[in-house]
Structure 1
Amino acid sequence: MDIFSVFTLLGGLAFFLYGMNVLSSALEKMVGGKLESVLRVMTSNRWKGLALGAVITIAIQSSSAMTVMLVGLVNSGIMELSQTIGVIMGSNIGTTLTAWILSAAGIEGDNIWLKMLKPESFSPLLALVGILLIMTCKQGRKRDAGHVLIGFSILMTGMSFMSQSVSPLADMPVFQDILVMFKNPLMGVLLGAVVTGVIQSSAASVGILQSLSMTGSITFGMAIPIIMGQNIGTCVTSLLSSVGANKNAKRVTAVHIYFNVLGTVICLLGFYALNSLFRFEFTDSPINAVGIALVHSLFNFITTALLLPFSKQLEGLAKLTVRDTNVRETLLDERLMLSPAFAISECRALAVKMAHTARDSMLSAIGLTKEYDDGIAREITEQEEQLDLYEDTLGTFLVKLSSKDLSQADSNEAAELLHAIGDFERIGDHAMNILRAAQEIDDKGLEFSEKAQEELGVITQAIIDILNLTVDSFEREDTRLAARVEPLEQVVDSLKLELKNRHVRRLQEGRCTIELGFVLTDLLTNYERVSDHCSNIAVTVIQVKDSALENHGYLNQLKSSGSPEFTREYEQSLQRYVLPVSGGQATE
């Protein structure tokens, strides 16, 4: 083996790692945040978590990325430590698929169908199809599929380079002398852990071992400890990701380490104990790529089967290792950006929470105009501070996320969320304005007449309905509900105008006090502004389904086109919110 073989080995490793990166990124974009977002709702028990961890890891082709995401989710308070244990175990099972894919490189035979199964035969065709998809499709899933094919082809090319570079090692006495060292199982575990820790990819270290196995010099006895050590080495990535995280997030890493270390110790002791009793003859036999994939899978399945029943004990061990302190959670952990589609999904979940907070704040403020309560007033103030925090956190996170390689759908959703969070925050501001109006009513002992209260009740109900409609459409991403918001916003504008006209007439007739007039004007102005923000949010919900739409252009077209749907909804709303007949001697 000369210096050029070393260059080929390093180049092959570089191709392999880059191909894995392209493949996992493209797969993650194709899958989107929908698969991963179910983590929050499908980890109610360890079996669901196990299955979900395996599925997601297969989808994104990276157990390390899966664990880092879990650290971020726990650090953000989105998941509990107990929910992650099954997912971590499932992730270890899911990552074994890569070894089986790589084992196809060792297929031998003269049959044309067997030859076609060899990656070096079909990966060039996949690369051709992939580049055609990338060149001909500007965006969407087809382009992402092209990147998947290109990533897989690069990965397999790297595997081929590594196999070619190590083939001369079989005839080198020095290599044989080095291999003798790794007949000691502890040295094998150490080698697997160090190599995997350095390159931070168990898939790559398994690929290197599969390449070396093609020399015929690696036996089952040598490979088994190395494979077990590789599972320990993969913990390095999650260990690094937990730096700066809170205690609960660090416990995720502790669970990952304990699971892999305990699994290695148990399986290694069990294997050599059985070997001493039954003398397994295959331990001295050469192992091939398929054998490595089989051992890798069996080790992870056995470890999971042994330790899954002791999930609570693993959690307790992690808590014992990382002691309780004052846990400070972040709303959105930047580790989530490792999976941009997943990060978008978590941003939406937080934006929905923001929407509910804004609505609750406004409804509470409206209630205070009828009956003032200091406790509710404090809650509204706290909710306003929370809304400010949500907007600042989400805005900063989404701007950073927008610089990532997002799919068109995720890019549209990021833009929608950026627009919507500002409107939700402004609704909270208007709730504070209404709170101050309610305080003025209470402090000065002001009281609207029954007629004025009846009139205010009509527009108040319209505001409550438009708020509920807006939040529901945003939460469900329902364009049909969103389309009903703008006609109702037009009705609110009409109601506000009519109520102001009635107020002016009462002023002219001397049937209204100045103080109540100011309060009424403040309420009507804030109501109208809230309906405007609801309209903006509804448009963003509609716009995300059609990136060609522009907010103001859409609204202008809607109002001027005389759409039958818009007209019908507007007329129905007019009939629903009818002001009482004006007149009489009622005062505000």
Structure 2
Amino acid sequence: MQILLQIFTFLGGFGMFVYGMNTMADGLQKAAGSKLKELLNLLTKNKFLGVIIGALITALIQSSSATTVMVVGFVNAGLMNLSQVVGVIMGANIGTTITAWIVSSSEWFEVLNPENLAPLAIGLGAILIFFTKSEKKKLIGEVIVGFGLIFIGLDFMKNVITPYRDSEIFKDAFVLLGRNAFLGVLAGALVTAVVQSSSASVGILQTLAMSGLVPMNAAIYIILGQNIGTTVTAMLSSVGASKNGKRAAMIHLLFNVVGSVIFVIGTIIFFAFIRPDLGSDLISGSEISLFHTSFNIINTVMLYPFSGLLVKVAEKLIPGQEKEELEVALVHLDDRILESPSFAIQSAIKEISNMGEYILGSLRYATQALIEKKEEYVAENAKRRENTDRYYQLITQFLVKIGNLSISEQQKMVVNDLFSAAIDLESIGDHANDISDNVGEAAKIEANFSESAIEDITIMFEKIEEIVELALKLRETNIYSYIAKIEDLEEEIDELEEQIRAEHTERLISGVCDIRLSILFLDTVSHLERISDHALKMAYCVKEEILN
């Protein structure tokens, strides 16, 4: 019964440790929401910047597995290419070591011991969460509570393990793992693959080390195995991904396996011929942190020059060309990106912009069909209608998934505005379809628009094209100066509509225009004007986000 109780206590401590990690990471992600969006934009710059950003992102979300899963999603979504992936993966391996340093911090100062710090942290965090109105303070509270839970979880696990410090079973097991590098690496890989978090498995190892149970050689082999085991999550997530998505996961596996194998060979030689006495020395939690970080930095420095080779090997191992996608394929909406709500929102914004460009293309076809009397443009627009509906359906489904995540109030506002933008864009698509239908009606009448009427539609369409493009740029960039331009353009379009209607009436009276086409002409002008209203509505949503 006592053993069963200890197992439950250890599992409870481990659960609290992992939950604390996730709580702290969630708080950090929400607090850094807009900054993470900027980091995503920087990912396209160069590989070295990718290393830094990969480390920063992973330090925030405290999981290299989660970062790599997102990377697979980014590649699958077409947001990143394989060359950029390598740097981010290398950086992720460095960033994930931050958790180990947090765990080992209790060895540095007495005040950081769990019994001293954790209750205070949780109490302070709870006060910020429940008794403050500021969202930023609530998020800080989440981070502090998560920090406290990490230490309480560690304390639970440590209290269970400490009585077994002198146990021969533990000693013999670690001696075996230290003497047999293969078994040590295998143990680390298996545990990490099961818990799907190298940070969590390193935390368990540190807890054992802080109880005086782990020799140095066993710890090193286990850490190197953990480095391999952490790739399982990304490999599993790549199932069903594109060829390049699978290659991204393969690059992660290659990088970690190659680095671990080189270090295993090096440490075997070191412990066998250079310092055999060090292998049996007990290792501390801080020394595990130091080795974990040093290994990942050295591995990055060592393999960074060969990043191009890693890409080529991944392409050889996963051969073949990408299948051609339907033009409307929603490449940016990959569920793997939901690992980070900030990135998921940015991907949704990107796809809203793509949807807008696609619908703007439909509007161009419709207007050109009317002006140039080309029936093939009408046929093309008929094909695009289904794609527009598919765009709307999948974008809104993805936004629902984001809405169900743990996101901040500001992020909720953005998600709601993206729903609104999707509705506005679908409405613009409907207006384009109605204009396209007018072409068919005009063909039945067998009459032609006057040159003045065509000129009016052309001028108005150019204004509409400009305002929609500005609204899409504003949605993607949040550049405040675009709002005033959109407002001015919308007023200009309203005035232009009134002017066109008045001039059209004069042409009807003078007999320049065919009265049979009058309704179709005015209907087209009305559709174009209402499109500008939708663009203005999108702009005002972004304006509210910026001002908040």
Equivalent residue number for residue 354 of structure 2? 353
Deviation at 1:414? 0.5
Equivalent residue number for residue 394 of structure 1? 395
Deviation at 1:95? 0.8
CA contact (8 A) 2:449 2:513 kept: no
Equivalent residue number for residue 271 of structure 1? 267
Equivalent residue number for residue 136 of structure 2? 141
3-state SS of paired residue (1:527): helix
Equivalent residue number for residue 153 of structure 2? 158
3-state SS of paired residue (1:405): coil
Equivalent residue number for residue 166 of structure 2? 171
- Deviation digits for residues 64-108 of structure 1, max 9, x if unmatched? 11011111112222222222111111100111111111111223x
CA-atom RMSD, angstroms?
Answer: 2.8
Deviation at 1:207? 1.2
Equivalent residue number for residue 113 of structure 2? 118
Equivalent residue number for residue 39 of structure 1? 40
Quote the Cα distance in structure 2 between the aligned partners of 1:366 and 1:249: 39
Equivalent residue number for residue 51 of structure 1? 52
3-state SS of paired residue (1:171): coil
Deviation at 1:231? 0.8
Choose 500-509 or 59-68, whichever is displaced more: 500-509
Equivalent residue number for residue 85 of structure 1? 86
- Deviation digits for residues 40-65 of structure 1, max 9, x if unmatched? 54344321111111111112111111
CA contact (8 A) 2:125 2:144 kept: yes
Equivalent residue number for residue 259 of structure 1? 255
Quote the Cα distance in structure 2 between the aligned partners of 1:15 and 1:429: 52
Aligned runs of 1:206-285 on 2, under 5 Å? Answer: 206-285=202-281
Aligned runs of 1:106-505 on 2, under 5 Å? Answer: 106-107=107-108, 114-138=109-133, 140-183=135-178, 184-324=180-320, 326-327=322-323, 330-331=330-331, 332-372=333-373, 380=381, 384-438=385-439, 446-453=447-454, 455-456=456-457, 459-479=460-480, 481-482=482-483, 485=486, 488-489=489-490, 492-493=493-494, 495-497=496-498, 499-500=500-501, 503-504=504-505
Quote the Cα distance in structure 2 between the aligned partners of 1:234 and 1:245: 19
CA contact (8 A) 1:37 1:342 kept: no
Q: Calculate percent identity across the aligned residue pairs.
A: 38
Deviation at 1:473? 3.2
Q: Give the 3 Å change call, closer, same or farther, for CA 7–460 of structure 1 in structure 2.
A: closer
Choose 355-364 or 3-12, whichever is displaced more: 355-364
Q: Give the 3 Å change call, closer, same or farther, for CA 274–443 of structure 1 in structure 2.
A: farther
CA contact (8 A) 2:478 2:546 kept: no
Deviation at 1:338? 1.6
Equivalent residue number for residue 75 of structure 2? 74
CA contact (8 A) 1:37 1:345 kept: no
Deviation at 1:494? 5.1
- Letter of the 2:33 partner, please give it: G
Q: Give the 3 Å change call, closer, same or farther, for CA 97–462 of structure 1 in structure 2.
A: closer
Q: Give the 3 Å change call, closer, same or farther, for CA 512–59 of structure 1 in structure 2.
A: same
Q: Give the 3 Å change call, closer, same or farther, for CA 530–281 of structure 1 in structure 2.
A: same
Quote the Cα distance in structure 2 between the aligned partners of 1:146 and 1:249: 36
Deviation at 1:436? 4.3
Q: Give the 3 Å change call, closer, same or farther, for CA 523–40 of structure 1 in structure 2.
A: same
3-state SS of paired residue (1:544): helix
CA contact (8 A) 1:212 1:218 kept: yes
3-state SS of paired residue (2:165): helix
Quote the Cα distance in structure 1 between the aligned partners of 2:470 and 2:101: 50
Quote the Cα distance in structure 2 between the aligned partners of 1:348 and 1:294: 40
Choose 68-77 or 243-252, whichever is displaced more: 243-252
Q: Give the 3 Å change call, closer, same or farther, for CA 132–515 of structure 1 in structure 2.
A: same
- Deviation digits for residues 396-444 of structure 1, max 9, x if unmatched? 1102221221111110001101011121122223223334445666787
Quote the Cα distance in structure 2 between the aligned partners of 1:436 and 1:2: 77
Quote the Cα distance in structure 1 between the aligned partners of 2:463 and 2:183: 74
CA contact (8 A) 1:99 1:203 kept: yes
- Letter of the 2:120 partner, please give it: L
Q: Give the 3 Å change call, closer, same or farther, for CA 466–195 of structure 1 in structure 2.
A: closer
Quote the Cα distance in structure 1 between the aligned partners of 2:353 and 2:55: 28
Q: Which runs of 5+ in 1 are unaligned?
A: 108-113, 548-588
Equivalent residue number for residue 21 of structure 2? 20
Quote the Cα distance in structure 2 between the aligned partners of 1:299 and 1:455: 68
CA contact (8 A) 2:58 2:96 kept: yes
Equivalent residue number for residue 560 of structure 1? none
CA contact (8 A) 1:24 1:61 kept: yes
Quote the Cα distance in structure 2 between the aligned partners of 1:451 and 1:364: 20
Q: Give the 3 Å change call, closer, same or farther, for CA 486–37 of structure 1 in structure 2.
A: closer
Choose 153-162 or 388-397, whichever is displaced more: 388-397
Deviation at 1:130? 0.7
Quote the Cα distance in structure 2 between the aligned partners of 1:166 and 1:253: 36
Q: Give the 3 Å change call, closer, same or farther, for CA 468–20 of structure 1 in structure 2.
A: closer
Deviation at 1:446? 4.5
User: TM-score by structure 2 length?
Assistant: 0.90
Q: Which runs of 5+ in 2 are unaligned?
A: none
Q: Give the 3 Å change call, closer, same or farther, for CA 259–510 of structure 1 in structure 2.
A: closer
Equivalent residue number for residue 520 of structure 1? 521
Quote the Cα distance in structure 2 between the aligned partners of 1:2 and 1:468: 67
- Deviation digits for residues 269-325 of structure 1, max 9, x if unmatched? 122223433234322211111111111112212222222222122222222222325
CA contact (8 A) 2:368 2:374 kept: no
Q: Give the 3 Å change call, closer, same or farther, for CA 186–458 of structure 1 in structure 2.
A: closer
CA contact (8 A) 1:133 1:146 kept: yes
- Letter of the 1:403 partner, please give it: N
User: TM-score by structure 1 length?
Assistant: 0.84
- Letter of the 2:117 partner, please give it: F
- Letter of the 1:234 partner, please give it: T
- Deviation digits for residues 252-281 of structure 1, max 9, x if unmatched? 221111221111111111222234332343
Deviation at 1:358? 2.9
Choose 115-124 or 45-54, whichever is displaced more: 115-124
CA contact (8 A) 1:139 1:408 kept: no
Q: Rg larger in 1 or in 2?
A: 1
Quote the Cα distance in structure 2 between the aligned partners of 1:513 and 1:398: 47
